[in-house]
Chain A
Protein backbone atom coordinates (compact mmCIF):
# COMPACT_ATOMS: atom_id res chain seq x y z
CA UNK A 1 0.00 0.00 0.00
CA UNK A 2 1.37 3.36 -1.01
CA UNK A 3 1.12 5.80 1.94
CA UNK A 4 3.41 8.83 1.72
CA UNK A 5 4.76 9.71 5.17
CA UNK A 6 4.47 13.47 4.68
CA UNK A 7 0.67 13.33 4.36
CA UNK A 8 -2.09 13.23 6.97
CA UNK A 9 -5.04 10.86 6.63
CA UNK A 10 -8.72 10.86 7.56
CA UNK A 11 -10.94 7.98 8.64
CA UNK A 12 -12.90 8.48 5.43
CA UNK A 13 -9.80 7.74 3.33
CA UNK A 14 -8.78 11.23 2.29
CA UNK A 15 -5.20 12.44 2.37
CA UNK A 16 -4.28 15.98 3.39
CA UNK A 17 -1.06 17.74 2.42
CA UNK A 18 -0.13 20.98 4.16
CA UNK A 19 1.20 23.63 1.76
CA UNK A 20 1.90 26.78 3.80
CA UNK A 21 -1.45 28.30 4.79
CA UNK A 22 -3.40 25.91 2.59
CA UNK A 23 -4.02 22.18 2.35
CA UNK A 24 -4.38 19.93 -0.68
CA UNK A 25 -6.87 17.05 -0.47
CA UNK A 26 -7.39 13.79 -2.37
CA UNK A 27 -8.29 10.15 -1.73
CA UNK A 28 -5.84 7.44 -0.72
CA UNK A 29 -4.37 4.64 -2.76
CA UNK A 30 -6.28 2.22 -0.54
CA UNK A 31 -9.57 3.99 -1.33
CA UNK A 32 -9.06 4.03 -5.10
CA UNK A 33 -8.12 0.38 -5.06
CA UNK A 34 -11.26 -0.53 -3.08
CA UNK A 35 -13.47 1.51 -5.42
CA UNK A 36 -12.14 0.10 -8.69
CA UNK A 37 -12.27 1.97 -12.01
CA UNK A 38 -13.25 5.57 -11.29
CA UNK A 39 -15.42 7.00 -14.08
CA UNK A 40 -16.71 10.25 -12.59
CA UNK A 41 -15.59 12.77 -9.98
CA UNK A 42 -17.88 15.50 -8.69
CA UNK A 43 -16.19 18.34 -6.83
CA UNK A 44 -17.29 21.63 -5.26
CA UNK A 45 -16.58 25.00 -6.86
CA UNK A 46 -13.93 27.55 -5.97
CA UNK A 47 -15.35 29.70 -3.17
CA UNK A 48 -17.53 26.96 -1.65
CA UNK A 49 -17.21 26.32 2.07
CA UNK A 50 -16.68 22.75 3.18
CA UNK A 51 -17.31 21.45 6.64
CA UNK A 52 -15.39 18.69 8.46
CA UNK A 53 -17.06 15.25 8.22
CA UNK A 54 -19.67 16.55 5.74
CA UNK A 55 -19.78 15.43 2.09
CA UNK A 56 -18.06 17.82 -0.33
CA UNK A 57 -18.33 15.75 -3.51
CA UNK A 58 -18.42 12.21 -4.80
CA UNK A 59 -16.43 9.69 -6.78
CA UNK A 60 -18.17 7.11 -8.91
CA UNK A 61 -16.77 3.81 -10.05
CA UNK A 62 -18.41 1.64 -12.68
CA UNK A 63 -20.43 0.02 -9.91
CA UNK A 64 -20.97 2.52 -7.12
CA UNK A 65 -21.14 6.09 -5.88
CA UNK A 66 -19.07 7.09 -2.87
CA UNK A 67 -19.31 10.39 -1.10
CA UNK A 68 -16.19 12.35 -0.32
CA UNK A 69 -16.14 13.53 3.30
CA UNK A 70 -14.27 16.68 4.16
CA UNK A 71 -11.31 15.91 6.45
CA UNK A 72 -11.49 19.52 7.73
CA UNK A 73 -13.45 22.76 7.38
CA UNK A 74 -12.52 25.67 5.17
CA UNK A 75 -12.90 27.50 1.91
CA UNK A 76 -12.18 25.89 -1.45
CA UNK A 77 -9.58 27.95 -3.33
CA UNK A 78 -8.63 25.54 -6.11
CA UNK A 79 -10.33 22.59 -7.83
CA UNK A 80 -8.68 20.00 -10.06
CA UNK A 81 -10.63 20.52 -13.27
CA UNK A 82 -8.60 17.85 -15.05
CA UNK A 83 -10.49 15.12 -13.19
CA UNK A 84 -13.56 16.09 -15.20
CA UNK A 85 -12.07 14.65 -18.36
CA UNK A 86 -9.63 12.23 -16.75
CA UNK A 87 -11.25 10.58 -13.72
CA UNK A 88 -8.91 7.62 -14.26
CA UNK A 89 -6.15 9.78 -12.69
CA UNK A 90 -7.68 8.79 -9.34
CA UNK A 91 -6.67 5.18 -10.02
CA UNK A 92 -3.37 5.95 -11.71
CA UNK A 93 -2.01 8.71 -9.51
CA UNK A 94 -4.06 9.22 -6.34
CA UNK A 95 -1.48 11.42 -4.53
CA UNK A 96 -0.28 13.48 -7.46
CA UNK A 97 -2.34 13.99 -10.62
CA UNK A 98 -5.60 13.22 -8.80
CA UNK A 99 -5.45 15.87 -6.08
CA UNK A 100 -9.02 17.09 -5.77
CA UNK A 101 -9.23 20.42 -3.99
CA UNK A 102 -7.07 23.00 -2.24
CA UNK A 103 -8.62 24.49 0.89
CA UNK A 104 -7.89 27.38 3.26
CA UNK A 105 -8.62 25.72 6.62
CA UNK A 106 -10.82 27.67 9.01
CA UNK A 107 -9.68 25.67 12.02
CA UNK A 108 -6.01 24.63 12.06
CA UNK A 109 -6.61 22.26 14.97
CA UNK A 110 -8.56 19.95 12.69
CA UNK A 111 -5.32 19.16 10.85
CA UNK A 112 -3.70 17.91 14.04
CA UNK A 113 -6.59 15.54 14.65
CA UNK A 114 -5.87 13.66 11.41
CA UNK A 115 -3.91 10.41 11.35
CA UNK A 116 -0.30 9.79 10.43
CA UNK A 117 0.56 7.32 7.65
CA UNK A 118 1.28 4.65 10.28
CA UNK A 119 -1.98 5.21 12.11
CA UNK A 120 -3.95 5.12 8.87
CA UNK A 121 -2.24 1.93 7.79
CA UNK A 122 -3.14 0.35 11.09
CA UNK A 123 -6.76 1.40 10.68
CA UNK A 124 -7.21 -0.03 7.19
CA UNK A 125 -5.40 -3.27 7.96
CA UNK A 126 -7.84 -3.92 10.81
CA UNK A 127 -10.78 -4.13 8.37
Chain B
Protein backbone atom coordinates (compact mmCIF):
# COMPACT_ATOMS: atom_id res chain seq x y z
CA UNK B 1 0.00 0.00 0.00
CA UNK B 2 1.83 3.03 -1.23
CA UNK B 3 -0.90 5.60 -0.77
CA UNK B 4 -1.88 6.59 2.74
CA UNK B 5 -5.37 5.40 3.65
CA UNK B 6 -8.05 7.89 4.59
CA UNK B 7 -9.65 7.58 8.00
CA UNK B 8 -12.95 8.74 9.47
CA UNK B 9 -13.15 10.76 12.71
CA UNK B 10 -14.16 7.50 14.46
CA UNK B 11 -10.96 5.69 13.56
CA UNK B 12 -9.37 6.29 16.99
CA UNK B 13 -12.27 4.41 18.62
CA UNK B 14 -12.14 1.29 16.44
CA UNK B 15 -9.54 -0.67 18.39
CA UNK B 16 -11.39 -0.13 21.66
CA UNK B 17 -14.30 -2.04 20.14
CA UNK B 18 -12.17 -4.79 18.61
CA UNK B 19 -12.38 -3.69 14.98
CA UNK B 20 -10.49 -5.44 12.23
CA UNK B 21 -9.84 -2.86 9.53
CA UNK B 22 -9.37 -3.23 5.78
CA UNK B 23 -8.52 -1.03 2.81
CA UNK B 24 -11.93 -0.21 1.35
CA UNK B 25 -11.46 1.92 -1.75
CA UNK B 26 -8.66 3.92 -0.14
CA UNK B 27 -10.30 4.12 3.28
CA UNK B 28 -9.16 2.26 6.37
CA UNK B 29 -12.52 1.00 7.62
CA UNK B 30 -13.73 -1.70 10.01
CA UNK B 31 -14.77 -4.88 8.19
CA UNK B 32 -16.00 -6.33 11.49
CA UNK B 33 -15.97 -5.74 15.23
CA UNK B 34 -17.10 -9.06 16.75
CA UNK B 35 -18.02 -11.30 13.81
CA UNK B 36 -19.89 -10.66 10.55
CA UNK B 37 -22.48 -13.34 11.33
CA UNK B 38 -23.13 -12.04 14.84
CA UNK B 39 -23.33 -8.42 13.67
CA UNK B 40 -25.65 -9.42 10.84
CA UNK B 41 -28.00 -11.26 13.22
CA UNK B 42 -27.95 -8.37 15.67
CA UNK B 43 -29.12 -5.93 12.98
CA UNK B 44 -31.92 -8.28 11.88
CA UNK B 45 -33.12 -8.92 15.45
CA UNK B 46 -32.04 -5.90 17.51
CA UNK B 47 -29.90 -3.04 16.23
CA UNK B 48 -26.40 -2.29 14.98
CA UNK B 49 -24.30 0.87 14.83
CA UNK B 50 -22.27 1.61 11.69
CA UNK B 51 -19.65 4.25 10.93
CA UNK B 52 -20.34 5.26 7.33
CA UNK B 53 -18.54 8.58 7.48
CA UNK B 54 -16.61 7.67 4.33
CA UNK B 55 -19.73 8.39 2.27
CA UNK B 56 -19.57 11.63 0.28
CA UNK B 57 -21.76 14.68 0.95
CA UNK B 58 -22.33 17.24 -1.78
CA UNK B 59 -24.47 20.35 -1.45
CA UNK B 60 -26.19 21.72 -4.52
CA UNK B 61 -27.68 25.19 -4.09
CA UNK B 62 -29.02 28.05 -6.15
CA UNK B 63 -32.04 29.16 -8.15
CA UNK B 64 -31.25 26.65 -10.87
CA UNK B 65 -30.66 23.69 -8.52
CA UNK B 66 -33.98 21.96 -9.17
CA UNK B 67 -33.94 21.97 -13.00
CA UNK B 68 -30.21 21.19 -12.95
CA UNK B 69 -30.62 18.10 -10.76
CA UNK B 70 -33.66 17.00 -12.76
CA UNK B 71 -31.33 16.93 -15.77
CA UNK B 72 -28.71 14.88 -13.84
CA UNK B 73 -30.77 12.19 -12.09
CA UNK B 74 -33.01 9.44 -13.46
CA UNK B 75 -35.62 9.69 -10.70
CA UNK B 76 -38.16 12.53 -10.63
CA UNK B 77 -37.47 15.33 -8.15
CA UNK B 78 -41.13 16.34 -8.36
CA UNK B 79 -41.57 13.54 -5.84
CA UNK B 80 -39.48 15.49 -3.32
CA UNK B 81 -40.43 18.24 -0.92
CA UNK B 82 -38.47 19.74 1.96
CA UNK B 83 -37.95 16.96 4.53
CA UNK B 84 -38.11 14.13 2.00
CA UNK B 85 -35.35 11.86 0.70
CA UNK B 86 -35.18 10.27 -2.74
CA UNK B 87 -32.99 7.42 -3.97
CA UNK B 88 -31.71 7.86 -7.51
CA UNK B 89 -29.10 6.63 -9.94
CA UNK B 90 -27.32 9.11 -12.20
CA UNK B 91 -26.33 7.97 -15.67
CA UNK B 92 -23.82 8.67 -18.39
CA UNK B 93 -24.98 9.40 -21.96
CA UNK B 94 -25.06 5.69 -22.76
CA UNK B 95 -27.39 4.95 -19.85
CA UNK B 96 -24.69 3.34 -17.69
CA UNK B 97 -24.75 4.21 -13.99
CA UNK B 98 -22.24 6.86 -12.85
CA UNK B 99 -23.35 6.54 -9.23
CA UNK B 100 -26.42 5.98 -7.09
CA UNK B 101 -27.27 8.10 -4.07
CA UNK B 102 -29.80 9.70 -1.76
CA UNK B 103 -30.93 13.27 -2.39
CA UNK B 104 -32.20 15.32 0.56
CA UNK B 105 -34.33 18.35 -0.25
CA UNK B 106 -33.58 20.93 2.44
CA UNK B 107 -35.25 23.75 0.53
CA UNK B 108 -36.52 24.14 -3.03
CA UNK B 109 -33.11 25.63 -3.87
CA UNK B 110 -30.94 23.53 -1.51
CA UNK B 111 -30.12 19.81 -1.83
CA UNK B 112 -27.77 17.38 -0.12
CA UNK B 113 -26.47 14.46 -2.22
CA UNK B 114 -24.78 11.45 -0.61
CA UNK B 115 -22.65 9.67 -3.26
CA UNK B 116 -20.63 6.52 -2.69
CA UNK B 117 -17.20 7.20 -1.20
CA UNK B 118 -15.36 5.80 -4.21
CA UNK B 119 -17.42 7.96 -6.58
CA UNK B 120 -17.59 11.19 -4.58
CA UNK B 121 -14.84 13.02 -6.46
CA UNK B 122 -16.13 11.78 -9.82
CA UNK B 123 -19.65 12.95 -8.98
CA UNK B 124 -18.46 16.40 -7.90
CA UNK B 125 -16.48 16.74 -11.12
CA UNK B 126 -19.45 15.56 -13.22
CA UNK B 127 -21.82 18.00 -11.52
CA UNK B 128 -19.42 20.91 -11.95
CA UNK B 129 -18.98 20.11 -15.65
CA UNK B 130 -22.73 20.31 -16.18
CA UNK B 131 -23.73 23.03 -13.72
CA UNK B 132 -25.04 26.37 -15.04
CA UNK B 133 -24.00 29.68 -13.44
CA UNK B 134 -26.92 29.85 -11.03
CA UNK B 135 -26.00 26.55 -9.34
CA UNK B 136 -23.26 26.06 -6.75
CA UNK B 137 -21.69 22.65 -6.08
CA UNK B 138 -19.94 22.30 -2.70
CA UNK B 139 -18.12 19.15 -1.66
CA UNK B 140 -18.85 18.76 2.07
CA UNK B 141 -17.48 15.23 2.40
CA UNK B 142 -14.76 16.35 4.78
CA UNK B 143 -17.27 18.20 6.98
CA UNK B 144 -19.84 15.51 7.68
CA UNK B 145 -19.53 12.34 9.71
CA UNK B 146 -22.30 9.77 9.23
CA UNK B 147 -23.48 7.19 11.75
CA UNK B 148 -26.20 4.65 10.99
CA UNK B 149 -28.30 2.81 13.57
CA UNK B 150 -30.11 -0.04 11.83
CA UNK B 151 -32.50 -2.69 13.05
CA UNK B 152 -35.95 -3.14 14.60
CA UNK B 153 -34.85 -1.54 17.89
CA UNK B 154 -33.12 1.46 16.28
CA UNK B 155 -36.03 3.87 16.76
CA UNK B 156 -36.62 2.95 20.40
CA UNK B 157 -32.91 3.35 21.21
CA UNK B 158 -32.63 6.80 19.62
CA UNK B 159 -35.93 7.88 21.16
CA UNK B 160 -34.38 7.58 24.65
CA UNK B 161 -31.74 10.12 23.60
CA UNK B 162 -33.86 12.92 22.15
CA UNK B 163 -36.93 15.02 22.87
CA UNK B 164 -37.95 15.01 19.21
CA UNK B 165 -40.70 12.47 18.56
CA UNK B 166 -38.82 10.39 16.02
CA UNK B 167 -41.69 7.97 15.38
CA UNK B 168 -43.24 10.91 13.54
CA UNK B 169 -40.47 10.68 10.95
CA UNK B 170 -41.66 8.21 8.26
CA UNK B 171 -39.34 6.07 6.14
CA UNK B 172 -37.38 8.20 3.66
CA UNK B 173 -38.05 11.44 5.56
CA UNK B 174 -35.62 13.46 7.64
CA UNK B 175 -35.44 16.31 10.13
CA UNK B 176 -32.69 18.87 10.49
CA UNK B 177 -31.26 20.08 13.79
CA UNK B 178 -32.49 17.16 15.87
CA UNK B 179 -30.64 17.05 19.20
CA UNK B 180 -29.52 13.51 20.11
CA UNK B 181 -27.62 13.20 23.40
CA UNK B 182 -26.97 16.95 23.26
CA UNK B 183 -25.52 16.72 19.75
CA UNK B 184 -27.13 18.34 16.73
CA UNK B 185 -27.72 15.96 13.82
CA UNK B 186 -29.65 15.69 10.59
CA UNK B 187 -31.76 12.63 11.38
CA UNK B 188 -32.84 10.58 8.39
CA UNK B 189 -35.00 7.45 8.42
CA UNK B 190 -32.99 5.61 5.79
CA UNK B 191 -30.44 2.85 5.53
CA UNK B 192 -28.76 0.14 3.53
CA UNK B 193 -29.64 -3.00 5.44
CA UNK B 194 -33.27 -3.83 4.63
CA UNK B 195 -34.27 -2.90 8.18
CA UNK B 196 -35.91 0.10 9.78
CA UNK B 197 -33.28 2.52 10.98
CA UNK B 198 -31.79 5.97 11.01
CA UNK B 199 -28.77 7.71 9.59
CA UNK B 200 -27.31 10.66 11.45
CA UNK B 201 -25.25 13.36 9.79
CA UNK B 202 -23.16 15.34 12.22
CA UNK B 203 -19.87 17.21 12.46
CA UNK B 204 -16.54 15.40 12.58
CA UNK B 205 -15.83 16.72 16.04
CA UNK B 206 -19.12 15.48 17.52
CA UNK B 207 -19.02 12.05 15.90
CA UNK B 208 -16.92 10.17 18.51
CA UNK B 209 -19.12 11.36 21.39
CA UNK B 210 -22.30 10.48 19.47
CA UNK B 211 -20.90 6.99 18.79
CA UNK B 212 -20.19 6.41 22.49
CA UNK B 213 -23.53 7.83 23.61
CA UNK B 214 -25.42 5.60 21.15
CA UNK B 215 -23.62 2.46 22.30
CA UNK B 216 -24.28 3.38 25.93
CA UNK B 217 -27.98 4.08 25.30
CA UNK B 218 -28.39 0.91 23.27
CA UNK B 219 -26.46 -1.38 25.58
CA UNK B 220 -29.49 -2.92 27.33
CA UNK B 221 -31.21 -3.41 23.98
CA UNK B 222 -28.28 -5.30 22.50
CA UNK B 223 -26.90 -2.59 20.17
CA UNK B 224 -23.52 -3.65 18.77
CA UNK B 225 -20.94 -1.82 16.65
CA UNK B 226 -21.00 -3.33 13.15
CA UNK B 227 -18.58 -3.26 10.24
CA UNK B 228 -18.73 -3.13 6.47
CA UNK B 229 -18.80 -6.93 6.24
CA UNK B 230 -22.23 -7.11 7.85
CA UNK B 231 -23.36 -4.01 5.96
CA UNK B 232 -22.58 -5.90 2.75
CA UNK B 233 -24.34 -9.16 3.72
CA UNK B 234 -27.36 -7.17 4.98
CA UNK B 235 -27.73 -5.11 1.80
CA UNK B 236 -27.11 -8.28 -0.23
CA UNK B 237 -30.05 -10.13 1.36
CA UNK B 238 -32.24 -7.07 0.78
CA UNK B 239 -30.96 -7.04 -2.86
CA UNK B 240 -29.88 -3.40 -2.63
CA UNK B 241 -27.33 -2.78 -5.40
CA UNK B 242 -23.68 -2.10 -4.63
CA UNK B 243 -21.85 0.25 -6.97
CA UNK B 244 -19.13 -1.56 -8.90
CA UNK B 245 -21.01 -4.86 -8.65
CA UNK B 246 -24.71 -4.71 -9.58
CA UNK B 247 -24.34 -1.27 -11.15
CA UNK B 248 -21.50 0.45 -12.99
CA UNK B 249 -20.76 2.74 -15.93
CA UNK B 250 -21.48 -0.21 -18.23
CA UNK B 251 -24.64 -1.51 -16.50
CA UNK B 252 -27.88 0.44 -16.83
CA UNK B 253 -30.31 1.02 -13.96
CA UNK B 254 -32.96 -0.87 -15.94
CA UNK B 255 -30.71 -3.90 -16.22
CA UNK B 256 -30.11 -3.63 -12.47
CA UNK B 257 -33.85 -3.70 -11.80
CA UNK B 258 -34.00 -0.10 -10.54
CA UNK B 259 -37.01 0.81 -12.71
CA UNK B 260 -38.76 2.42 -9.71
CA UNK B 261 -36.00 5.05 -9.72
CA UNK B 262 -35.91 5.65 -13.48
CA UNK B 263 -38.69 8.02 -14.54
CA UNK B 264 -38.65 7.97 -18.31
CA UNK B 265 -41.89 9.98 -18.38
CA UNK B 266 -40.74 12.87 -16.22
CA UNK B 267 -41.23 16.38 -17.58
CA UNK B 268 -37.62 17.04 -18.35
CA UNK B 269 -34.77 15.58 -20.28
CA UNK B 270 -32.02 13.89 -18.29
CA UNK B 271 -28.61 12.50 -19.13
CA UNK B 272 -28.98 8.95 -20.43
CA UNK B 273 -32.71 9.27 -21.06
CA UNK B 274 -32.67 8.54 -24.80
CA UNK B 275 -30.37 5.53 -24.32
CA UNK B 276 -32.64 4.15 -21.59
CA UNK B 277 -35.79 4.71 -23.66
CA UNK B 278 -34.13 2.86 -26.53
CA UNK B 279 -33.12 0.04 -24.20
CA UNK B 280 -36.67 -0.28 -22.89
CA UNK B 281 -38.08 -0.26 -26.43
CA UNK B 282 -35.81 -2.98 -27.80
CA UNK B 283 -36.00 -5.00 -24.58
CA UNK B 284 -33.25 -5.70 -22.09
CA UNK B 285 -30.70 -8.24 -23.29
CA UNK B 286 -29.54 -8.95 -19.71
CA UNK B 287 -30.80 -8.39 -16.19
CA UNK B 288 -29.80 -8.76 -12.57
CA UNK B 289 -31.48 -11.75 -10.98
CA UNK B 290 -31.23 -13.70 -7.75
CA UNK B 291 -29.88 -17.23 -7.60
CA UNK B 292 -29.61 -19.93 -5.00
CA UNK B 293 -27.04 -22.72 -5.22
CA UNK B 294 -28.39 -26.26 -5.44
CA UNK B 295 -24.94 -27.86 -5.39
CA UNK B 296 -22.44 -27.14 -2.64
CA UNK B 297 -20.45 -24.00 -3.30
CA UNK B 298 -20.57 -20.26 -2.76
CA UNK B 299 -20.94 -17.95 -5.76
CA UNK B 300 -18.59 -14.94 -5.67
CA UNK B 301 -18.24 -11.70 -7.60
CA UNK B 302 -16.95 -12.31 -11.11
CA UNK B 303 -17.63 -16.05 -11.36
CA UNK B 304 -19.01 -17.14 -14.74
CA UNK B 305 -22.64 -18.26 -15.09
CA UNK B 306 -23.34 -20.92 -17.72
CA UNK B 307 -26.42 -22.48 -19.29
CA UNK B 308 -27.07 -26.23 -19.54
CA UNK B 309 -24.92 -26.46 -22.68
CA UNK B 310 -21.96 -24.84 -20.97
CA UNK B 311 -22.34 -21.54 -22.84
CA UNK B 312 -21.45 -18.45 -20.80
CA UNK B 313 -24.61 -16.40 -20.17
CA UNK B 314 -23.39 -13.90 -17.60
CA UNK B 315 -21.61 -13.47 -14.30
CA UNK B 316 -22.09 -13.28 -10.56
CA UNK B 317 -22.11 -9.67 -9.31
CA UNK B 318 -22.36 -10.47 -5.56
CA UNK B 319 -22.54 -13.69 -3.61
CA UNK B 320 -22.07 -15.18 -0.19
CA UNK B 321 -23.67 -17.53 2.25
CA UNK B 322 -26.75 -15.65 3.42
CA UNK B 323 -26.43 -15.42 7.21
CA UNK B 324 -30.22 -15.21 7.64
CA UNK B 325 -31.11 -18.18 5.45
CA UNK B 326 -27.87 -20.19 5.70
CA UNK B 327 -28.05 -20.69 1.94
CA UNK B 328 -25.44 -19.96 -0.68
CA UNK B 329 -26.95 -17.20 -2.78
CA UNK B 330 -25.94 -14.73 -5.42
CA UNK B 331 -26.96 -11.80 -7.57
CA UNK B 332 -26.11 -12.37 -11.22
CA UNK B 333 -26.17 -10.29 -14.39
CA UNK B 334 -27.36 -12.75 -17.02
CA UNK B 335 -29.01 -12.95 -20.42
CA UNK B 336 -32.73 -12.25 -20.09
CA UNK B 337 -34.08 -15.59 -21.39
CA UNK B 338 -32.44 -17.32 -18.40
CA UNK B 339 -33.83 -15.01 -15.71
CA UNK B 340 -37.22 -16.72 -15.28
CA UNK B 341 -37.83 -17.83 -11.69
CA UNK B 342 -37.08 -21.50 -11.35
CA UNK B 343 -34.66 -21.61 -14.31
CA UNK B 344 -31.68 -23.84 -13.83
CA UNK B 345 -28.25 -22.42 -14.48
CA UNK B 346 -24.69 -23.24 -13.58
CA UNK B 347 -21.93 -21.35 -11.80
CA UNK B 348 -18.29 -22.00 -12.52
CA UNK B 349 -16.63 -22.17 -9.09
CA UNK B 350 -12.92 -22.79 -9.51
CA UNK B 351 -12.69 -26.19 -11.22
CA UNK B 352 -16.32 -27.17 -10.76
CA UNK B 353 -19.54 -26.35 -12.57
CA UNK B 354 -22.27 -26.24 -9.94
CA UNK B 355 -26.03 -26.13 -10.30
CA UNK B 356 -28.12 -23.13 -9.21
CA UNK B 357 -31.70 -21.96 -9.61
CA UNK B 358 -33.19 -18.50 -10.20
CA UNK B 359 -35.13 -17.29 -7.12
CA UNK B 360 -37.30 -14.22 -6.42
CA UNK B 361 -35.79 -10.97 -5.14
CA UNK B 362 -35.42 -9.54 -2.61
CA UNK B 363 -34.17 -12.53 -0.64
CA UNK B 364 -35.06 -10.75 2.58
CA UNK B 365 -37.88 -8.32 3.33
CA UNK B 366 -38.64 -7.09 6.82
CA UNK B 367 -42.13 -7.27 8.22
CA UNK B 368 -43.55 -3.77 8.35
CA UNK B 369 -45.56 -2.89 11.41
Contact = CB atoms under 8 A, between A and B. Distances in A.
Nearest to A33: B20
Given A36-B36, A37-B36, A37-B37, A63 B298 contact: no
A40 B323 CA distance: 12
Contacts, number: 38
Contacts of B26: none
B320 interface: yes
Interface residues of A, number: 12
Nearest to A65: B300
B229 interface: yes
B298 A36 contact: no
Main secondary structure of the interface of B (DSSP, over half): mixed
Nearest to A62: B36
B245 interface: no
A36 B300 contact: no
Interface in B169-228: none
Contacts of A58: 350
Contacts of B119: none
A65 B300 CA distance: 9
A60 interface: yes
B35 A65 contact: no
B232 A63 contact: yes
A39 interface: yes
A49 to B, nearest CB: 16
B8 interface: no
A36 B35 contact: yes
A84 B295 CA distance: 13
Main secondary structure of the interface of A (DSSP, over half): strand
A63 B231 CA distance: 11
Contacts of A65: 298, 300
Interface string B215-256: 000000000000001001100000000000000000000000
Contacts of B321: 39-40, 60, 62
Contacts of B232: 63
A15 to B, nearest CB: 22
Query: Which of A42, A61, A62 is the most central at the interface, judged by chain B CB atoms within 10 Å of its CB?
Result: A62
B32 interface: yes
Interface in B12-27: 20
A73 B145 CA distance: 52
B58 interface: no
Contact of B323 (A42, A60, A62, A84): A62
B35 A37 contact: yes
B173 to A, nearest CB: 33
Contacts of A60: 298, 321
B37 A62 contact: yes
Contacts of A40: 296-298, 321, 328
Contacts of A37: 35-37
B31 interface: yes
B161 to A, nearest CB: 31
Contacts of A63: 31, 36, 229, 232, 320
Contact of B229 (A36, A39, A42, A84): A36
Contacts of A61: 36
A39 B329 CA distance: 13
A35 to B, nearest CB: 10
A69 to B, nearest CB: 14
Interface in A37-72: 37, 39-40, 42, 58, 60-63, 65
A58 B350 CA distance: 10
16 contacts: A36-B32, A36-B35, A37-B35, A37-B37, A39-B298, A39-B320, A40-B296, A40-B298, A60-B298, A60-B321, A61-B36, A62-B36, A62-B229, A63-B320, A65-B300, A84-B296
The 9 A-B pairs with the shortest beta carbon distances in the complex, nearest first, are A39-B321, A62-B36, A37-B37, A37-B35, A60-B298, A63-B229, A37-B36, A40-B298, A62-B320
Interface of B: 20, 31-32, 35-37, 40, 229, 232-233, 296-298, 300, 320-321, 323, 328, 350
Interface of A: 36-37, 39-40, 42, 58, 60-63, 65, 84
Given A36-B32, A39-B321, 6 more contacts: A40-B296, A42-B297, A58-B350, A62-B40, A62-B323, A84-B296
